Amino acid sequence: MTQKYIKLKDKDVPTNIRSYKSAKSIKIYFKGNILNISKPKWVSINEVLSLIKRNENDIYDKYIKILNSEIKTSKQWKTGETIYYKGEQFEIVRKYQDKYIVSVRIDIKTKKLIVILPKDIQEFEIKEYVDNAIKQLFKNHTEKLILEKLPYWSKKTNLKYNAVKVRDATTRYGSCMPSKRNLYFSSRLTMLPENIVDAIIVHELCHLKFKNHNKDFYNLVEQYIPNYKEIDKWLKENGKLIMF
């Protein structure tokens, strides 16, 4: 864990500083709760820190607003929170260990998502590290799920694809590039019920034949997923399930 921090009043703010040959000035902005700084290569770190110090109040206020917003709208991975896995609610449970490693695992029997943290980790560090660990876990599980289901549906629909990729996405469950016959799926699919995943897979396969969402496209989808309209409505109403 090599994240750097800058002290702003009472907060240690996670910070990324990058130097660019083409940069003409120092730019300071937040991406999530991380303070990002881009600077020309000829600008020293001391000059950057001096600029931050002069604007400390404004930067600090923005950081506090971001932290408060995250607390209200996203998972903090605390015991008692819940998350969906395969369409069912799992309780989040924190556990601590001596090793400075962050890891997560799913206990299917007890329906718990176990977050394992170092004993001395700071609270403000937790979200970023656990977010990354869970994204990777869900990506692995979704890749396995797609590899199990996609060949079946490809054979059943007689729609052949060339490549499939799973990537972290929250605005789309899947997408298709008909010209290359490539399919893309969100790594969050493992959070959804399996019948919903089936419908998403068929949806993207059908785009290999019909690029647009026209009548022919939906008729083809409904040949294999007769209740697709219900599932589509469910996805629109429950999209927040895959957010964290």
pLDDT in tens, 141-154: 999 999 999 999 99
Give 2's pLDDT tier (boundaries 50, 70, 90).
very low
Strand partners, 207: none
Residue 4 has a pLDDT of 79
* Angle CA 143–189–33, to nearest 5: 100
Cα separations (Å) of 141 from 23, 74, 113, 168?
40, 22, 14, 12
Residue 3 has pLDDT above 90, yes or no: no
| Under 8 Å between Cβ of 207 and 176 | yes
Q: Mind listing the domains of the chain with CATH numbers?
A: 4-72 (no CATH), 82-131 (no CATH), 138-242 (3.30.2010.10)
pLDDT at 47: 94
Tokens matching residue 62: 């923005």
pLDDT at 96 > cutoff 80: yes
State the pLDDT at residue 60. Answer: 93
Kindly tell me the burial class for residue 123, based on how many C-beta atoms sit within 10 Å of its own C-beta (0-12, 13-18, 19 or more). exposed
Quickly state the pLDDT bin for 72 (edges 50, 70, 90).
Answer: low
pLDDT tens digits along 34-60: 899 999 999 999 999 999 999 999 999
- The pLDDT score that the predictor gives to residue 11 is 87
Quick one: pLDDT at residue 71? 55
Q: What is the mean pLDDT of the chain?
A: 92
pLDDT at 168 over 50: yes
User: Could you tell me what percent of the chain has a pLDDT over 90?
Assistant: 75
The percentage of the chain sitting over the pLDDT mark of 70, rounded to a whole number, equals 97
Average pLDDT over residues 123-137: 93
**Strand pairing class (103-107; 163-167):** unpaired
Residue 241 neighbours by CB distance under 10 Å: 18
pLDDT of residue 120: 92
Give pLDDT, residue 219: 98
